[in-house]
Amino acid sequence: MIVETDAIDAQLTMLDVEVPSWAYGNSGTRFKVFAQAGVPRDPFEKVADAAMVHRMTGSAGSVAIHIPWDKVDDYAKLSRFAHDEGVRIGTVNSNTFQDDDYMLGSVTHPEAAVRRKATEHLLECVDIMDATGSRDLKLWFADGTNYPGQDDFRSRQDRLFDVLHEVYDRLGDDQRMVLEYKLFEPAFYSTDVPDWGVSYAHCLKLGPKAKVVVDTGHHAPGTNIEFIVAFLLREGKLGAFDFNSRFYADDDLMVGAADPFQLFRIMHEVVKADAIDPASGVAFMLDQCHNIEPKIPAQIRSIMNVQESVAKAALVDQVALGAAQLAGDVLEANSIIMDAFNCDVRDAVAQWRETRGAQADPVAAYRGSGYAERIVGERVGGTQMGWGA
């Protein structure tokens, strides 16, 4: 198969993948958070690390922040610092799952006072969006129940919508909320936003500034994620991705690590819908926790995996594919897809990175940059950032 570099370059030039600030902090399992040397001690150092990923890859122009993990006294100052580093502050992520009051839920809690506390936090996040120039407020709720009879399903949905509606009304004209879903965890009997259908139903009722987030690790085994993506694109309700990879549950591994073919199939639907273009409104974000691998190289590798999947998707002959589909030629249609997936695009992507002033081999370039050694030497003292900090 001939590698059409023009098609690849066109898609990669539009691609902008947001990296998560929390990926640069210490993280771990349910049993242990593992510390690494050189981990950031404040949000500014997180942004500096994110900027390094962008310099290496050319496709990571924004960094998502998480409140209260990334609270600062002056968000405008943080935004200016990001700009000076060559990136920008992106999505503001809320946190309604790390407070004792939220043991039985946050926005769906039976007690009005707890719901009010959660709502005020979400409104604070919108204030932070105003200060940083962020477009998106990302909402994920750990709310749910562990036992039959613990609470009323319909009442919890009513409470959820009431809070969402209040926050929706607070959004500015150019701001959005993107609602994430998760099959299970930490609630095990019922989750209040367990799948794309529940998220979609709430977003549809709220209005055009509410969109669905598809986290690639938040589905039951065997779920056809690319179908969900295609459906939401068709309805104009796909707001964002959280890219990661999984073997069993919400593993939060580097995207493409477990199933690169799945990532390609997803990006094929995105490319076919012209949704790589920022004008489509679809935000591409990583959502990963690097427990045993070095933080910055793991983010670099994830960006590279997305770049390569987009490049392969750009090679699909859509005209030939459409003809085969209309003719009912099953084998030819599948062959067209597989030819693109099996194509080695690494050289083409490396050449594109060089034209953008990034690195042909970002991993090797980072290793040779001295940055890892420098931050280990400089970031001594203070408290490393991580889960809950």
Task: Identify whether the C-beta of residue 65 lies closer than 8 Å to the C-beta of residue 21.
Answer: yes
| Digit-coded pLDDT (tens) for 336-384 | 999 999 999 999 999 999 999 999 999 999 999 999 999 999 999 999 9
* Domain count for the chain: 1
Per the model's pLDDT, the better-predicted residue between 240 and 3 turns out to be: 240
β partners of residue 19? 63
Q: Which is nearest to 143 in space by CA: 101, 196, 201?
A: 101
Residue 383 falls within a domain, yes or no? no
Q: Say what the pLDDT of residue 4 is.
A: 79
CA–CA dist 210, 254 (Å, integer): 27
CA–CA dist 352, 316 (Å, integer): 19
| Digit-coded pLDDT (tens) for 326-345 | 999 999 999 999 999 999 99
Phi, psi at 17, each rounded to 5°:
-110, 125
CA-angle at 21, arms to 302 and 308, nearest 5°? 15
Mean local confidence (pLDDT), 303-320:
98
Mean local confidence (pLDDT), 43-72:
98
Quickly tell me which residue has 């529940």 as its tokens: 198
Task: Identify whether the C-beta of residue 211 lies closer than 8 Å to the C-beta of residue 179.
Answer: yes
C-beta neighbour count of 7 within 10 angstroms: 17
- Given CA atoms 299, 302, 308, 314 in this order, what sign does their dihedral have? negative
Residue 75 falls within a domain, yes or no? yes
Q: Say what the pLDDT of residue 297 is.
A: 98
CA–CA dist 69, 388 (Å, integer): 6
Query: For residue 315, which amino acid is it?
Result: L
Give the domain CATH number at 236.
3.20.20.150
Residue 102 falls within a domain, yes or no? yes
CA–CA dist 101, 115 (Å, integer): 10
Q: What is the DSSP letter of 254?
A: P
User: What residues make up the domain containing 290?
Assistant: 5-367
Residue 239 falls within a domain, yes or no? yes
CA–CA dist 20, 340 (Å, integer): 30
Is residue 388's pLDDT more than 70?
Answer: no
Mean local confidence (pLDDT), 89-100:
97
Count of residues making up the chain: 389
Residue 378 falls within a domain, yes or no? no
Is residue 66's pLDDT more than 80?
Answer: yes
- Given CA atoms 239, 242, 245, 249 in this order, what sign does their dihedral have? negative
| 64 sits in which H/E element | strand 62-66
What's the half-sphere exposure (Cβ side, CA atoms, 13 Å) at 34? 11
Record the tokens describing residue 360, joined without a space: 């042909």
